[in-house]
Amino acid sequence: MTNTDQPNSATGAVADAEAGNWVDRYAPDWLKPYARLARWDRPIPFWLLFWPCGWGLGLAAVANPQRGFDWIACILMIVGALLMRGAGCTFNDIVDRDIDMAVARTRSRPIPSGQVSARSALVFLAAQVLLGAIILFQFNRFTVIAGVASLVIVVIYPFMKRVTWWPQAFLGLAFSYGALLGWSSQTGGLSVPILLVYFGSILWVIGYDTIYALQDIEDDALIGVKSTARLFGSKTQPIVGGFYAAAYVLWLAGATMAGTGLLFALLSLIAAGVLAWQVWTLDANEQGNPVARFRSNHYVGITLLLALLAEWVW
């Protein structure tokens, strides 16, 4: 680990969090370890979990313009995404505490660094899941059942890097699930358009998490952790490009089936451009390059949601 990777021993800051984030600067000292455990110091993945929820709501609004966009459901899902992302990260860190000790980027996280015990992390996990359940039970029965079923994916995901080269696919199943919930919260069920968007989102997640995993590829090889970044190797750029292209096609097909037209198709090209830029400029050997491309997926998510809202308003 280089000196720049070392966390500040006085503050307990995590090595892979942005310097000067709001948790390090403003959170009370007693809250900081738990906020870091829930990744409140890194908001981009929280938004990446929420954007499919927003797409589901937006697609439902396009399919039934008279019903409109459900802003209350949107706010509930933002809060729910924050809670469940925190719960998922907490559970992941409990399961992976031994692996995190062996990886330079993660050994400063609260559990391996000793800021939070595994028992305290379990209590924090239970609290987040309980609050998330309260949010979930505000929706219809189908959405509640579907939301509870998603916990199976959340529970098995941390173990997948030990048994398969495709843990990113399982992350895709979990991080894209909000699209199904957003749609079903408005319709009471599922249909082909949202399934296409869901599968497209899975491919998108595989692509961006492969890029993210490039940061740990050397440590992962040493300790035997599997990932698509290791599996794809020197062919990562074209393969990720293929996943992104297929994701965009599925998104466009699902949106068109739901009733979008030329406006969405044109605006969605901005998202496609961001994805193309990621692939074209990706350089795993340049420090900070993969994580910057990973973070730009935030703009992909918000662009597609705004395109759906524009189509609905139009």
Asked if residues 244 and 207 have their Cβ atoms less than 8 Å apart, the reply is yes
Alpha-carbon torsion, ordered 266, 268, 272, 278, to 10 deg: 130
Does a structural domain hold residue 220? yes
Between vectors from CA 279 to CA 277 and to CA 283, what angle results, nearest 5°? 105
Specify the amino acid at residue 185. Answer: S
Domain interval for residue 115? 22-313
Does a structural domain hold residue 8? no
Does a structural domain hold residue 15? no
Specify the amino acid at residue 108. Answer: S
Does a structural domain hold residue 303? yes
- Nearest Cα to Cα of residue 83 among 19, 34, 117, 29: 34
What's the start-to-end Cα distance of the chain, in Å?
53
Does a structural domain hold residue 11? no
Claim: this prediction has a pTM higher than 0.85: yes
Does a structural domain hold residue 4? no
Structure tokens at 239: 């393969």
Does a structural domain hold residue 197? yes
* pLDDT number for residue 172: 97
Confidence of residue 92 (pLDDT cuts 50, 70, 90): confident
Confidence of residue 222 (pLDDT cuts 50, 70, 90): confident
Q: Into how many domains does the chain fold? A: 1
3-state secondary structure of 126: helix
Does a structural domain hold residue 2? no
Could you read off the pLDDT of 132-161 as tens digits, one per residue? 999 999 999 999 999 999 999 999 998 998
**Residue 48, CB-side half-sphere exposure with 13 Å CA sphere:** 24
Q: What is the CATH number of the domain that holds 82?
A: 1.10.357.140
